[in-house]
A and B are shown apart, each in its own frame.
Chain A
């Protein structure tokens, strides 16, 4: 049961990481109209930041650490997409394969 709950905490961590990244991207994505929408953008970041903090604070130690593992694993996974995709495209591009 504990393992199952720890897995659920890990999955929740992944989900919260996704929401947090999306909230942080909010300002960049609507920069052209930031003057109008900044309260919503700030609210998004606060809501997801606070939700993550509160959930982590309320959890017992083993589950909290699973949650944090979920958060950090997704963050690493997400950040690794760029260099990996860069490598993929560098290998596949044809203009540098000279006769």
Chain B
């Protein structure tokens, strides 16, 4: 009987069959002098004995022959009995005695972490990640119940379905349970002894934050990130995050929510001192050396001492592995990824209903190449089509027409045209303000408590009602405004035909500079706020001296800031629905977190020239171009008399300007619809938190829509979704770090050559998006809500950009962006502001470091790293 519960000291690497992979691993570390918190393991034999006592053997054997739908119910019955029935008395006493010894050694009551340790965790390729229960803050009174729940988690629908899919016999899997003292950590984190994304072995990655580590592992907080040189443990780079939340080491009586606000003074402070950083790196490398493989180490610091919580081999899964399980051929939907490179959270992905031919894979949106291939009247391979869609090939390279496909295409095209003809005609000359009615519709839907988030998504974005004003359908308007592309093509051809020698970006310049573009007005609004701040020395000083959140709190206390705050409120009343990564429902809107706007105002305070100067520069260039065109065209027959060619060019330029404006303005409004859906989700979240069905803010976005309705209806409870949320969070972080694969099921050619050395500099190649050349110090910005500061003249290096990034363009000397095309946001804004810009530079934010001196050539699309940070 005694062998059913063992101290961690008594187990080692060879005991995985008795104590599971996790238990064996921890025991092995403890035996070898690693600072693992004390604990014990309830062995797999105890589980077998409990099954025997409940007489569940026959039920498990019957599972083998049960039909799939019935087996789910049978598993639920087994789970239910495991969780409900009492443990045999001797076993319960053994567990409580071991727990008592832990308390005796500590000299006080302790909270424990109770973790499943399945003995089948090392079955070939099966990972079982996140399917089995883990419980924190467990006291003596809860201990036996949590042990039973760990065993019950072996029979959760996910675990059962996973075993069925992988052909694992249900009866062959057993489970031990590790019970360890919880370390009340002041700082905790994870470290990787090799870069888990790139696989690089010469660096150690450390992520740390205040409080307990669970929040880092599942991404509830953005941790500080340190890249350490493996050879000498020197800090290669560090990024101190704004750590807004932490999991406190102790739960107060009656407290169920787990996340606390981090005190302001600690938010942007480094969570690890240089000494602790070195300690963490050293222990992590010792783990690697002990196990002989790169390790992923969870650790905690308590009273200045280091504790090792877990060490396991790193699974380096490359970007190319994403979507391996998906059948078919897909290419990334570029117009969306240009705005937003992170994957959608499960709830955002689930609430959006994609049209045929488009689907979300792991949160990213892809085009079904084979479906499109069937539709197009060309004899073209999926690979060539994917490359064209991803604009690796600029022109359709001699695709032969397939006569057999023409009738089907004709019918599809005709139906499309007939279905959209009314929309196209209604949007061909909309006056300014036509979309304002959408604001009222949003308010109405928001106020209607009977509408769920999914209803709101359909009503506001996807399916307008018959008889709706055009202003009620901004997403349709946005899609219809892609007509600017055909006008732009015609404009380009006319210009090249009649004035082939004018500047290369003539058609883009002619098509820019509309009045009434709401995102441009938003930029001017932020500039006006900066002007107001400039008028008041106290407001200016607060904004420049404090981090935005702190500045906001101080401004609210300062009587001198009243006028500035009034202007800020007016700005938010109009633009508060906007956000960074605004397609994602999880993204907080500016009205929820005005500090983001203050960060932009602060950027404007650092520069002298406002947007009007840039706009004037572009307007002057446009005027000069029209004058040049007029002069050149006059050499052509009859042009001097009638000026028809110039009029035709200006007509198409007007059309391009109109549709581009319509595209921008409709986006301004439909993002408002996303804001309403978010508000509805947040209301549900607050209710579920109150009911205890959710424990942490933000978790709701990691539920699927049906799980959300299940929680609301009481069919699901927190325990049913806790592990799913945790697992999805971890997966989300991993995917965010990795970025989307361009294609799934298709080998895509590299658009540009990899980084090369050229005349002593590293050369990166991308696509030119705005002409001009510039040399300066790089500033890598991954999230404009965190890294709000860009010193005037620095080169902005970003993963993507959207309207929330616009103010940074005013401060920057040039821009380099990882994704995008000539017509993407970065290129459009850069051209408006007359600054060089190169887009589609693969992995620019990794290859270029803040502080590097770089040269940006917006004519050729090249970026050269002239001198790394230390030398620059």
Contacts and interface: CB of A to CB of B under 8 A. Distances in A.
Interface string A56-99: 00000000000000000010011101100110010011111111
A59 to B, nearest CB: 22
A1 interface: no
Contacts of A30: 431, 434
A95 B709 contact: yes
A99 B716 contact: yes
Contacts of B433: 32-33
Contacts of A29: 426, 430, 434, 469-471
B123 interface: no
Interface string B437-476: 1000000000000001110001000110111111100000
A4 interface: no
B705 A31 contact: no
B466 to A, nearest CB: 5
Contacts of A94: 350-351, 454, 704-706
Interface stretch (B216-224, B414-422, B772-780, B792-800): B414-422
Contacts of A14: 418
A4 to B, nearest CB: 18
Contacts of A96: 454, 706, 709
A18 B706 contact: no
Interface string B70-106: 0000000000000000000000000000000000000
Interface string B706-724: 1111100101100000000
Contacts of B463: 82, 85-86, 89
A78 B465 CA distance: 12
Interface string B236-263: 0000000000000000000000000000
Contacts of B403: none
A38 interface: no
Contacts of B689: none
A47 interface: no
A3 interface: no
A32 B422 contact: no
A36 B16 CA distance: 81
A14 B419 CA distance: 12
A88 to B, nearest CB: 8
Contacts of A22: 422, 425-426
A74 B426 contact: no
A28 B706 contact: no
A89 to B, nearest CB: 5
Contacts of A74: 418
A31 B351 contact: no
A95 B466 contact: no
A93 B353 contact: yes
Nearest to A23: B425
Contact of B706 (A19, A37, A95): A95
Nearest to B433: A32
Contacts, number: 84
B706 A25 contact: no
B436 interface: yes
Interface in A5-45: 14, 18-19, 21-22, 25, 28-33, 37
Interface string B469-485: 11100000000000000
A9 to B, nearest CB: 17
A91 to B, nearest CB: 9
B357 to A, nearest CB: 13
Q: Output the residue of A19, A82, A94 with the most chain B CB within 10 A.
A: A94
A14 B418 CA distance: 9
A77 to B, nearest CB: 6
A82 B431 CA distance: 26
Contacts of A81: 419
Contacts of B704: 94
A31 B469 contact: yes
Nearest to B72: A99
B715 A32 contact: no
B437 A95 contact: no
B421 A18 contact: yes
B220 to A, nearest CB: 24
Nearest to B420: A81
A43 to B, nearest CB: 15
A90 to B, nearest CB: 9
Contact of A93 (B437, B458, B471): B458
Q: Output the residue of A14, A22, A86, A99 with the most chain B CB within 10 A.
A: A99
A15 to B, nearest CB: 9
Interface in B577-627: none
A82 B706 contact: no
Contact of B469 (A21, A28, A85, A93): A28
B452 A95 contact: yes
A89 B458 CA distance: 8
B436 A78 contact: no
A98 B465 CA distance: 27
A18 B467 contact: no
Interface in B42-58: none
A82 B466 contact: yes
A56 to B, nearest CB: 20
A37 B430 CA distance: 12
Nearest to A25: B426
B225 to A, nearest CB: 34
B865 to A, nearest CB: 46
Nearest to B457: A93
Q: Output the residue of A31, A81, A93 with the most chain B CB within 10 A.
A: A93
A77 B417 CA distance: 12
Contacts of B467: 28
Contacts of B470: 25, 28-29
10 contacts: A21-B422, A25-B422, A25-B470, A28-B469, A29-B430, A81-B419, A94-B705, A96-B706, A99-B157, A99-B716
Given A32-B436, A33-B433, A93-B454, 19 more contacts: A14-B418, A18-B422, A21-B422, A22-B422, A22-B425, A22-B426, A25-B470, A29-B430, A29-B471, A77-B419, A78-B422, A81-B419, A82-B463, A89-B353, A89-B458, A89-B463, A94-B350, A95-B708, A98-B706
- 7 shortest interchain CB distances as A-B pairs: A95-B705, A95-B454, A29-B470, A22-B425, A28-B469, A92-B353, A94-B705
Interface of A: 14, 18-19, 21-22, 25, 28-33, 37, 74, 77-79, 81-82, 85-86, 89, 92-99
